[in-house]
Structure 1
Amino acid sequence: MAIGAVRRTAVLLAGVLGLSATASGCSLMSSGSSGSPSLEHPTLRVGYEAQVDVAPLYKAVNSGLFADAGLRIELQQEPSDADAIKALSDGKLDVAFATHVSLFKAAGAGTQLQLQGEAYQAGANTMALVSLPSLGYDDPSQKPSPRIAVNAPDDLGVLTTKSVLDTAGVAQNKIQFKTVPFATMADALQNREVDAAWMVEPFITKAQKALGATIVTDAARGATLDFPISGYASLKKFADGNPNTMSTFRKVLAQAQQQASDRLQVQTVLKDYAGVDAATADLISVGSFPTTLNAVRLQRVADMMQTSQMLANRLDVQSMMPPNEQRG
């Protein structure tokens, strides 16, 4: 999911390194049988984008949850999924955040990835086709060849837009997609360059507040109801060489995801990194934050991608799971 942001690295917290042994002779960084295994790579460079999806990650870093486990996290803001995955391949990131569609496209193209966590799952109006009253587009079946802004070509926006408009009786090959960054979609609507824009939060609420924008259709309905949106991945080679580090990352992330079940915590932390004020944050629609990697759930995304010809062949998501992760 792309945003027009300049990459910036923010080292938010120092890790807890070299902890002294406790009276029982164990610590978070010891390798004794009674303690946690030592971390091969106690500093991780993790990419993120200023969206609701990463609220648990951001809060966990900021509150010291990762540091308490001996893991130092350096957050790097990425302008797009493509940039994040490239930074991963170039060795500039250890863990990348991206839509599952972007990650699976990369895997289908030959990049050896290992999934490290699910970030976000769609809820009501967390992704939607948004228009303006002046454009006269208030029903998904209203235009036989709608012009739709999406943040990236052949990504989540294209996949889910095709699904919901197909259900409404619009031929998929008649949809005209235009790539527009989230940050300038409102301008594209005002300039009548598109009939609607596929948006996620907080951009939906911002457009509603600033322009009186309306939702043509929720993009998480029918075949895309409760759709898995985004997650975290590392290169398989890096994960294989740092199993204790990545296991610790997954465990802390799961704790953070669990804490994000409190909607108020999510809305509060959005003010710190997503460029929204308190009043806007309070109105944002929030989906769910899975606490486990679920290959069955994610296979749904890969299979829809193959059906939509985003993947030439069927991708076995289970093959991208960390060792010992369950299928369901």
Structure 2
Amino acid sequence: MTRTVRARALVLGIAAALTLAACGGSDTASAPSGGKGLEKTTIKVGALPIPDPAALYIANAKGFFKAEGLTVEPVLIQGGAAALPQIKNGALDISHTNYVSTFLAASKGEKIKVVGDVYQAAPNTFNLMVTKDSPLNSVADLKGKTVLVNTLKNIGTLTVEATLKVAGLTKDDVKFVEKPFPDMANALSTGQGDAAWMTEPFITATQSQSGFRKLADTMSGQTADLPIAAWMATDEWVQKNPKTLAAFQRAIAKAQQLVANDRKEVEAVLGQYTKIDAKTASVITLGTFPTSLNATRLQRVADLMLEYKYIESPLDVKTILVGASG
């Protein structure tokens, strides 16, 4: 865990990328509006209870959104796929999402856009975990077993499949079952699953509190440094609210730059939207936070999805990225 301590500080730099690259229009680079001319002054933003969206809470705490004339109301969600119906029906304006769920939806014709990069994997940030007394000692032992993931057909199942492949197994050799991250520890302990795909702070918390063991790091080899999360909105929302989006991006970019240089800022807000205590927050392993929305780097995710048949034909990610480079 400790070898990625340096990466933790980078976690929030990711969000900076979304602001600078997300919108791509003149509104994105313009000066703070103080609320003048914004199409909406109050927006609801979905976020999972994990470190990725820490900049969202920092921007609120530091008054960065307020300076833009925005009131941002964070809404806890359980996965990017679960957020899609909410941004489509207007319950959410923008949402934290994972690239696999987003690219899968886009491949099926959903009119959505990625408006910023959020998080990228690092070693031991997304692990397959088992209980301390589990008979499983290798990925090969998962044959015929149940694996818990927060959402089906998402970044979790894809990276687990890649991990299974190395062990000579396929997705058909295991059973995937959905379980929200906060409920996974209890589910494993009560026999509802044999292994769970976890991220921080749940990896560290279950190790320290329940003695859980790492079965495998799902972000290695083919999936090393894989882009994980983004900010997502509908095409319609982006077109109708360019100034609001730009204001959001400016504020969250400022927060991301701040936390990219000070891990303590991340630790300070984790307790606001997760159940993690300060001691655990100080030792969790964090991924990195890209500072640009790079099409070439993100294409890697879509290509991996094609290989594992998550999508039926190639997807050019540039078609759904707003303000991307590369």
- Specify if TM > 0.5: yes
Residue equivalent to 1:235: 234
CA distance in 2, matches of 1:54, 1:75: 10
- 1:41-190 paired onto structure 2 within 5 Å: 41-190=40-189
Determine if contact 2:270/2:276 at 8 Å carries over to the other structure.
Answer: yes
CA deviations 1:21-64 (Å, max 9, x no partner) are xxxxx98438xxxxx98423233221112111111111111211
Question: Unmatched 5+ residue regions in structure 2?
Answer: 1-29
Question: Unmatched 5+ residue regions in structure 1?
Answer: 1-25, 31-35
Determine if contact 1:258/1:289 at 8 Å carries over to the other structure.
Answer: no
Residue equivalent to 2:309: 309
Residue equivalent to 1:327: 325
Residue equivalent to 1:293: 293
- 1:168-317 paired onto structure 2 within 5 Å: 168-261=167-260, 262-317=262-317
Q: Secondary structure at the match of 1:98?
A: strand
Out of 257-266 and 282-291, give the one that drifted further.
257-266
Determine if contact 2:107/2:315 at 8 Å carries over to the other structure.
Answer: yes
| Distance of aligned partners of 1:56 and 1:285 in 2 relative to their CA distance in 1, 3 Å threshold | same
Determine if contact 1:131/1:213 at 8 Å carries over to the other structure.
Answer: yes
Percent identical pairs in the alignment equals 35
CA distance in 2, matches of 1:75, 1:91: 14
Q: CA RMSD in A?
A: 2.1
Letter in 1 for 2:33: M
CA distance in 1, matches of 2:301, 2:273: 28
| Distance of aligned partners of 1:28 and 1:196 in 2 relative to their CA distance in 1, 3 Å threshold | closer
CA distance in 2, matches of 1:326, 1:184: 36
Letter in 2 for 1:287: G
Q: Secondary structure at the match of 2:292?
A: coil
Q: Secondary structure at the match of 1:309?
A: coil
Q: Structure 1 residue 327: deviation in Å?
A: 2.4
Q: Secondary structure at the match of 2:93?
A: coil
Q: Structure 1 residue 251: deviation in Å?
A: 2.8
Q: Secondary structure at the match of 1:293?
A: coil
Residue equivalent to 1:22: none
CA deviations 1:247-296 (Å, max 9, x no partner) are 23223322222222222221221112111111111121111112221111
Q: Secondary structure at the match of 1:133?
A: coil
Total equivalences in the alignment: 296
TM-score by length of 2: 0.84
Q: Structure 1 residue 139: deviation in Å?
A: 2.3
Letter in 2 for 1:161: V
Q: Secondary structure at the match of 2:114?
A: strand
| Distance of aligned partners of 1:28 and 1:159 in 2 relative to their CA distance in 1, 3 Å threshold | closer
Q: Secondary structure at the match of 1:130?
A: strand
Determine if contact 1:135/1:192 at 8 Å carries over to the other structure.
Answer: no
| Distance of aligned partners of 1:171 and 1:103 in 2 relative to their CA distance in 1, 3 Å threshold | closer
CA deviations 1:52-89 (Å, max 9, x no partner) are 11111111112111222232212222244333211110
CA deviations 1:167-213 (Å, max 9, x no partner) are 23333431222222222222232233432111111111121122100
CA distance in 1, matches of 2:142, 2:42: 51
CA distance in 1, matches of 2:219, 2:300: 14
| Distance of aligned partners of 1:94 and 1:170 in 2 relative to their CA distance in 1, 3 Å threshold | same
Out of 89-98 and 130-139, give the one that drifted further.
130-139
Letter in 2 for 1:307: E
| Distance of aligned partners of 1:27 and 1:96 in 2 relative to their CA distance in 1, 3 Å threshold | closer
CA distance in 1, matches of 2:139, 2:300: 24
| Distance of aligned partners of 1:166 and 1:303 in 2 relative to their CA distance in 1, 3 Å threshold | same
CA distance in 1, matches of 2:32, 2:54: 25
Larger helix proportion, structure 1 or 2? 2
CA distance in 1, matches of 2:142, 2:220: 19
TM-score by length of 1: 0.84
- Does 1:29 pair with 2:60? no
Determine if contact 1:48/1:54 at 8 Å carries over to the other structure.
Answer: yes
CA distance in 2, matches of 1:108, 1:143: 30
CA deviations 1:196-238 (Å, max 9, x no partner) are 1111111111211221001111111011111111111111111
